[in-house]
Amino acid sequence: MENENQKVEQFWDTPTHDQIVEISHAHVEALEASNDDNVWQQVGMHHIILTTIGRRSGKEHKCALPIWCDLDGHRVVVGSFAGADKEPDWLANLRDRDSNSEVKIRTQIGEYTSIPEILEGEERDLIWNQLCEDRAWYNDYQDRTERIIPLIRFPE
């Protein structure tokens, strides 16, 4: 993915946690039904469908997530859940996998498997600061919770 301008000003109200789950389910259906830019680029951000395996159910779970690309062009997602103290389920599924388990990523132009990298320490902090230059509301989400909001990179 080329390094295009990824700066987005928040012009929407942050949905509730229940609304986030509902919106994601509806968005996955729309993404799977269309390759149209208006579906894959919501509120100024490109999206992916992340498919994980449920840690309790063993079933596939799909989630629509906005992405941001790091300087190397790798897709990065934020495990913010709008600043909730509880991590989103998709992130709990990623944490509860074998360290080399692949996940499926669907983009507007195709699919690939990836071994997710949960960023930590200095690398996480550096990328967090770069991300927040483009998407300042994530700082507000971080202020809402005691947990350090994780960043997850999905290399191809």
Give the model confidence (pLDDT) of 105-147 as tens digits: 999 999 999 999 999 999 999 999 999 999 888 999 999 999 9
**What is d(CA 5, CA 108) in angstroms, rounded to the nearest whole number?**
18
Structure tokens at 67: 């992405």
Domain ranges of the chain: 17-154
Alpha-carbon radius of gyration of the chain: 15
Q: Are 105 and 45 in contact (CB under 8 A)?
A: no
Q: What distances in angstroms separate CA 109 from CA 40, 112, 134, one per listed residue?
A: 10, 10, 24
* Residues 49-79: tens digit of each pLDDT: 999 988 888 889 999 999 999 999 999 999 9
Instruction: Reduce the DSSP state of residue 104 to 3 states and report it.
Output: strand
Structure tokens at 115: 């071994």
At the fourth CATH level, which superfamily is domain 17-154?
Answer: Electron Transport, Fmn-binding Protein; Chain A (2.30.110.10)
Q: Which amino acid, residue 19?
A: Q
pTM: 0.84
